[in-house]
Amino acid sequence: MNRALLRIPRLMVAFVAIWMVCVLPAQALNIVDHYSPLNRQRAQRARTDYLILHTTEGPGKGSLGKVHRLGECHYFVDEIGKVFRIIDRRKVALHAGRSMWNGRTNMDNSAIGIEVAGYHNRGITAAQYSAVKELVAELQGIYKIPDERVLTHSMIAYGAPNRWHKRSHRGRKRCGMLFAKWSVRQKLGLTKQPKYDPDIKSGRLVNADPYLAKVLYGSASEQDKAAQWYAAGDANIISPTRSAWDIARDKYRSAEVTYVFPCGKQAKGNTIKDWKAIPPGTRVLLAPRPKPTKS
Please say if the pLDDT value at position 42 is more than 80: yes
Q: Determine what percent of the chain is predicted with pLDDT higher than 70.
A: 88
Q: In the structure, what pLDDT confidence band is assigned to residue 168 with cuts at 50, 70 and 90? A: very high
Answer yes or no: CATH 3.40.80.10 is held by domain 31-231.
yes
Q: In the structure, what pLDDT confidence band is assigned to residue 230 with cuts at 50, 70 and 90? A: confident
Residues forming beta bridges with residue 44, ordered by sequence position: 91
Residues forming beta bridges with residue 114, ordered by sequence position: 53, 75
State the Cα–Cα distance between residues 34 and 285, nearest whole angstrom: 33
Please say if the pLDDT value at position 285 is more than 80: yes
State the Cα–Cα distance between residues 258 and 238, nearest whole angstrom: 12
Q: pLDDT tens digits, residue range 87-131? A: 999 999 999 999 999 999 999 999 999 999 999 988 999 999 999
State the Cα–Cα distance between residues 214 and 231, nearest whole angstrom: 15
Q: Which pTM does this prediction carry?
A: 0.80
Please say if the pLDDT value at position 19 is more than 70: no
**More confident call, 249 vs 270:** 270
b/e per residue 30-67 (b: at least 16 CB within 10 A): ebeebebebbeebeebeebbbbbbbbbbbbbebbbbbb
The pLDDT value recorded for residue 21 is 38
Residues of the chain with CATH 3.40.80.10: 31-231
The pLDDT value recorded for residue 231 is 73
Q: What is the mean pLDDT of residues 240-250?
A: 81
